[in-house]
């Protein structure tokens, strides 16, 4: 898997309270490309962070319905990947200022 495809597959780490709790149990959450498969995510994480991935779960989330200038519209949905690593391995996804 080349570097361009890795960066296209993994868009960003998803930072939330739930993902912080999951990080304590070797699970990390990433926003991924809509066309990404479990195999793509596994290969990208293993190559980019040099870790062993045990399991990948993918979730499609719907965008929130919002009003824009008195009209109903919706935000774009996301595809998230929940990645579980082997015991003893970690990824530092915190933002350094």
At 96 the pLDDT is 59
pLDDT in tens, 27-68: 999 999 999 999 999 999 999 999 999 999 999 999 999 998
Q: Read out DSSP for 4-66?
A: HHHHHHEEEE--SHHHHHHHTTTEEEEEE-TT--HHHHHHHHHHHH---EEEEEEEEEPPPEE
**Rounded CA separation 34/77 (Å):** 9
Q: What topology is assigned to 3-85 in CATH?
A: Alpha-Beta Plaits (3.30.70)
At 95 the pLDDT is 61
At 71 the pLDDT is 92
User: Which residues have a Cβ under 8 Å from the Cβ of 61 and sit 6 or more positions away?
Assistant: 77, 78, 79, 80
| Residue 70 confidence class, pLDDT cut points 50, 70, 90 | confident
Q: What is the domain partition of the chain in residue ranges?
A: 3-85
At 10 the pLDDT is 94
> Taking the model in full, what pTM does it have?
0.87
């Amino acid at each position: 898997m080349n570097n361009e495809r890795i960066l296209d597959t993994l868009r960003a780490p998803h930072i939330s309270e739930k993902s912080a709790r999951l990080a304590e149990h070797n699970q990390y959450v990433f926003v991924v490309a809509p066309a990404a498969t479990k195999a793509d995510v596994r290969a990208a994480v293993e190559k980019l962070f040099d870790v062993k991935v045990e399991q990948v779960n993918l979730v499609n989330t719907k965008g929130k319905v919002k009003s824009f200038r008195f009209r109903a519209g919706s935000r774009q949905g996301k595809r998230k990947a929940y990645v579980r690593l082997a015991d003893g391995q970690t990824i530092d996804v915190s933002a350094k200022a």
